[in-house]
C-alpha cells in the first residue's frame, strides 16, 4: 500500500457551526406558515441584503416580506424563482459563503 | 457582474500598482506562510492578467494597499466570523484594502493532503475576495468567481467571462489579454 508523503488529518468539526445547517428543516415551508426558528432565516436574509426592516425583532412567520426576500434571493443567486423555500434555495442558503452583502451598495468604510 | 454603490475603484496613475502584505500576528499556523504567499501570488496574477494592474508584495503591513489577515470571531470591524463554514471571509470595497479570512475554517492549499470534509480551498476564496478589493460585488452567474457561495472541497479559481467583463469595465483591459484565450481555456477545461 502506498502511503502519501504528507497527509494533514483535521478533525471534522462541522458541528461547531450549526446555524445554517438547521435551515434544512425549513424545506418546503410556504407563505403563511409559523415555524419556530424562522426568525433566524429572516436574520440571514437581512444580513445579506434581502430583507430590510426597521424593526429587527423578526417573527417566526413566513410573511409577505419574507416571500419577497426569497424571490429577491432566488433572482440574485440565479435560482429558479418560486418564492418558496424549495430544495435549491435551501441548499444554496446553507452553503458556505462570502460575508460581503449581496446588496450592491454595501460599503463598510469609515472616513476619518 | 455588479459593483458596490458608487462603483468605487482604485484611482491611481496608470499603470496601477497595488502593494499587498500579510499580517504576521493574525494568521494561521497549519499552512506555511510561503504556501499562503504562493496562493495569493497566483490569485493576484489572475486578475492582473486581464487588467492593467500590478500587485507587489511588501513587508510593511500597515502601509500596504491590501492587508491580508486571518481572524476568529469578533475582530473589530463589526462583522464577526462565525467559526467553521458559514461565512468564510470578507473584504472591503476600494480603496479600503482590508481582506479578512476566518481563521477557524479548515483552509486547504491541496485537497490531496487535507482530508477534512469541511476543508475550503484558500485559492478560490482569495481570488474571490481580491475581486471585492478591486471593486466587484457579487454576481448571479454560478460559474463565476464572484458568485457568493463556495462548497467545501470545491475549487473555483479561473476567471470567467462575467468576472473579466466586470473588472475590465472598471480598469480597462490588460493590453496582452485576449478574450479568445479565456474561451480556449474554458473549452479545454470543459473537455478535460
Instruction: Give the rounded distance of the alpha carbon of B73 from its chain centre.
Output: 21
How many degrees, rounded to 5, is the angle at CA A82 between CA A79 and CA A86?
75
> pLDDT digits over B8-47, tens only?
999 976 679 999 999 999 999 999 999 999 999 999 999 9
ipTM of the complex: 0.94
| pLDDT tens digits for range B81-127 | 999 999 999 999 999 999 999 999 999 999 999 999 999 999 999 99
HSE (side-chain half, CA atoms, 13 Å) at A76: 23
- Would you list which residues of chain A are within 8 Å, Cβ to Cβ, of chain B? 4, 6-14, 16-17, 19-20, 48, 75-78, 92, 95-100, 102, 104-109
Let me know the angle formed at the C-alpha of B53 by B48 and B59, rounded to the nearest 5 degrees.
90
Residue of B135, B134, B188, B132 lying closest to B158 (CA atoms): B188
With CA atoms as reference, report the closest residue to A96 among A45, A21, A43.
A21
Interfacial B residues in 168-187 facing A (CB < 8 Å): none
Amino acid at each position: 500500500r502506498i502511503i502519501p508523503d504528507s497527509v494533514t488529518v483535521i478533525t471534522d468539526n462541522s458541528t461547531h457551526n450549526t446555524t445554517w445547517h438547521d435551515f434544512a428543516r425549513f424545506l418546503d415551508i410556504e407563505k403563511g406558515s409559523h415555524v419556530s426558528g424562522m426568525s433566524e432565516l429572516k436574520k440571514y436574509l437581512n444580513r445579506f441584503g434581502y430583507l430590510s426592516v426597521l424593526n429587527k425583532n423578526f417573527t417566526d412567520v413566513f410573511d409577505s416580506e419574507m416571500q419577497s426576500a426569497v424571490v429577491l434571493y432566488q433572482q440574485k443567486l440565479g435560482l429558479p424563482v418560486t418564492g418558496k423555500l424549495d430544495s435549491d434555495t435551501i441548499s444554496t442558503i446553507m452553503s458556505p459563503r462570502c460575508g460581503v452583502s449581496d446588496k450592491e451598495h454595501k460599503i463598510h468604510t469609515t472616513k476619518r | 457582474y455588479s459593483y458596490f454603490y458608487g462603483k468605487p475603484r482604485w484611482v491611481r496613475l496608470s499603470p496601477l500598482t497595488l502593494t499587498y502584505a500579510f499580517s504576521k500576528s493574525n494568521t494561521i499556523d497549519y499552512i506555511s506562510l510561503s504556501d499562503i504567499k504562493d496562493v495569493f501570488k497566483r490569485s493576484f496574477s489572475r486578475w492582473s492578467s486581464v487588467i492593467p494592474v500590478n500587485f507587489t508584495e511588501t513587508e510593511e503591513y500597515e502601509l500596504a494597499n491590501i492587508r491580508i489577515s486571518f481572524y476568529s470571531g469578533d475582530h473589530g470591524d463589526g462583522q464577526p466570523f462565525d467559526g467553521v463554514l458559514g461565512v468564510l471571509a470578507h473584504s472591503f470595497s476600494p480603496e479600503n484594502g482590508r481582506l479578512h479570512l476566518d481563521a477557524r475554517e479548515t483552509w486547504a492549499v491541496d485537497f490531496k493532503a487535507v482530508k477534512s470534509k469541511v476543508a475550503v480551498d484558500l485559492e478560490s476564496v482569495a481570488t474571490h475576495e481580491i475581486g471585492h478589493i478591486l471593486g466587484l460585488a457579487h454576481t448571479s452567474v454560478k460559474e463565476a468567481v464572484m458568485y457568493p457561495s463556495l462548497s467545501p472541497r470545491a475549487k473555483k479559481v479561473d476567471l470567467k467571462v462575467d468576472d473579466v467583463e466586470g473588472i475590465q469595465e472598471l480598469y480597462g483591459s490588460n493590453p496582452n489579454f485576449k478574450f479568445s484565450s479565456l474561451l480556449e481555456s474554458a473549452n479545454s477545461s470543459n473537455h478535460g
